[in-house]
Amino acid sequence: MGEPEVGHEGARRPRVLILGGGFGGIGAARALKDAEADVVLVDEHNYHTFQPLLYQLATDLLETSEVGHPLRDLFHEQANVAVHQDSVTAVDLGGRRVHFAEMASLDYDYLVLALGARVNFFGTEGASEHAFPMYTLADAVRFKEHVLRKWEAADKDPALVDDGALNVVVVGGGPTGVESAGALAELYRGDFAKDYPGMPQERARVTLVEAGPALLTMFKADIQKYAKKALEERGVDIVLGEIVESVSPSRVTLKSGRTLPAHTLVWGAGLQASPVADGLGLALEKGSRVVAAPDLSIEGHPEVFAVGDIAWITDTKTNRVLPQLGSVALQAGERAGANIARLLEGKESEPFAYVDKGTMATIGRASAVVQFHRGRTLKGKAASLAWGSVHLALLSTGEDRAKAMIEWTWAGFTHERPGRITVRTDE
Ligand SMILES: Cc1cc2nc3c(=O)[nH]c(=O)nc-3n(C[C@H](O)[C@H](O)[C@H](O)COP(=O)(O)OP(=O)(O)OC[C@H]3O[C@@H](n4cnc5c(N)ncnc54)[C@H](O)[C@@H]3O)c2cc1C
């Protein structure tokens, strides 16, 4: 890694500092390909995480390297990009400087804030200690190993089943909760039923708890009904209108007083922007999101852009706040990068115009839902294909796309999940 320097001494090209190597950060860096600038991308991980596939890693359908991709690898062909692995600790907007956990601070001429979001447990008792969020690669691996360990333990001591060792409660009826519950139910009723034939399948429950009156509230009623039925057909118990009050290692307690015996709770119920946003000294929107202007810059700082999950972006066409989605982050990142390239050339920045390819969620094999922005909906196999094509387009390299295609096709034919192994590193 080259020595990062502080200050503007000596003649150097303008520096564009990109914080975060998710969809937003990658989109911005790529759009600066031909810019006369040094682009520095910093992420606390040395890989890009493809969050839409985390639940497939968590349920053994994909391997770690199919959901995470080395960040440096993405920029081998782009000479003006340097990648560093470090944690951003603070951003000094007035001083145009960013502080890191380990590296020396870096000054910037342009800055892209693309640090994403993280889980929000809303203060639920016991959740930060015992719940499993599904937001990072580490979350998915931790969850997958935990579930495998529970089944191996129950295989040796069936009394654990009575205590709820195999039960999983999924909190949140949005896409993350629906996708996780559907994939888990297929893992349980498919491969685990064959792997552990002596285990009473009907007593290994997957329960989805949603506070509202329906699942997938951002979708139309026909989709909500389809999703509920498709999950129930896969054996998921659905509890609507209930809030999780507390979580312990073996019990989930609901506000109504009902207790669910379960050694595992997946949290898919809420997000908040990266804590770096809180330290910016700006007025933030709901979920601590940074308000982006139409060209994605932030108020009073035309040299700073906010994109992706950390940003509060209003669609200039519809006047609606855009959802925290990979496609929004990627397109916004590309627009921010293109705007910086324009400013570097002395041109004006342009407003961001989101191209909506539809809101989607998968429920299981050959079962998904899509709602296009004009209101048309798709369900089942056709929606699954639409989900696949939109998400293949989001994958960062051709190699990733090819790998995902092979895995999905293979899993479609064989219904097999290759990731059902636990590796102990302490032996
Ligand atoms: C389980 C799940 C399923 C999803 N499914 C879909 C889907 O099907 N379709 C869809 O379009 N969207 C989906 N999304 C949403 C989508 O993944 C996000 O909207 C998208 O990843 C946001 O991109 P981003 O670049 O803003 O943030 P991220 O992708 O989160 O990237 C942020 C980056 O910043 C880094 N970072 C964070 N904090 C620091 C720090 N302090 N210092 C240094 N680096 C830091 C992180 O390591 C990360 O690489 C899903 C999300 C989840 C969690």
DSSP collapsed to 3 states, 202-215:
HHCCEEEEECCCCC
| Mutation pick for ligand 1 pocket among 61, 103, 115 (CB with most ligand atoms within 8 Å) | 115
Low-confidence residues of the chain, pLDDT below 70? 1-11, 396, 408, 411-416
Burial status of residue 212 (CB atoms within 10 A of its CB: 0-12, 13-18, 19 or more):
middle
Going from the Cα of 53 to the center of ligand 1, the distance in angstroms, rounded, reads 11
- Would residue 179 show up in a list of annotated catalytic residues for this protein? yes
| Mutation pick for ligand 1 pocket among 289, 312, 325 (CB with most ligand atoms within 8 Å) | 325
Asked whether 359 lines ligand 1 (CB < 6 A), one says no
Going by C-alpha positions, the residue among 220, 119, 224, 183 that lies closest to residue 362 is 183
Q: Is beta strand 110-113 parallel, antiparallel or unpaired with respect to 15-19?
A: parallel
Q: For residue 386, what pLDDT is reported?
A: 85
Burial status of residue 131 (CB atoms within 10 A of its CB: 0-12, 13-18, 19 or more):
buried
Task: Work out which ligand 1 atom sits closest to the CA atom of 89.
Answer: 41
Over the stretch 25-80, which tens digit does the pLDDT of each residue have? Answer: 999 999 999 999 999 999 999 999 999 989 989 998 888 988 899 999 999 999 99
Going by C-alpha positions, the residue among 128, 130, 124 that lies closest to residue 249 is 130
| Mutation pick for ligand 1 pocket among 42, 51, 84, 363 (CB with most ligand atoms within 8 Å) | 51
Read off the pTM. 0.92
User: Hey, how many other C-beta atoms are within 10 angstroms of the C-beta on 10?
Assistant: 6
Burial status of residue 105 (CB atoms within 10 A of its CB: 0-12, 13-18, 19 or more):
middle
Asked whether 52 lines ligand 1 (CB < 6 A), one says yes
Q: For residue 414, what pLDDT is reported?
A: 66
Q: Which residues contact 300 (CB under 8 A, 6 or more apart)?
A: none
Going from the Cα of 49 to the center of ligand 1, the distance in angstroms, rounded, reads 7
Q: Which residues contact 71 (CB under 8 A, 6 or more apart)?
A: 21, 41, 43, 45, 46, 47, 48, 83, 85
In whole numbers, what is the pLDDT of the chain averaged over residues?
A: 92
Q: Which two tokens stand for residue 413?
A: 């034919």
Q: Which of 66, 179, 210, 334 is catalytic?
A: 179
Q: Which residues contact 345 (CB under 8 A, 6 or more apart)?
A: none
List helix spans (H) across 134-267.
Answer: 137-156, 159-162, 175-187, 193-195, 221-233
CA atoms within 13 A on the CB side of 351: 11
Going from the Cα of 12 to the center of ligand 1, the distance in angstroms, rounded, reads 32
Over the stretch 329-345, which tens digit does the pLDDT of each residue have? Answer: 999 999 999 999 999 99
Which amino acid, 356?
D
Tell me which long-range contacts 228-232 makes (C-beta under 8 A, separation of at least 24): 230/182, 230/363, 230/364, 230/367, 231/178, 231/181, 231/182, 231/185, 231/363
Q: How far apart are CA 410 and CA 417, in angstroms?
A: 9
Asked whether 57 lines ligand 1 (CB < 6 A), one says no
Strand order in the sheet with 311-312: 284-285, 289-291, 311-312
Which amino acid, 407?
E
CA terminus-to-terminus distance, the chain? 34
Residue 288 CA, chain-centre distance (Å), reads: 17
* DSSP assignment letter at 190: I
Q: Which residue has 């509060």 as its token pair?
A: 312
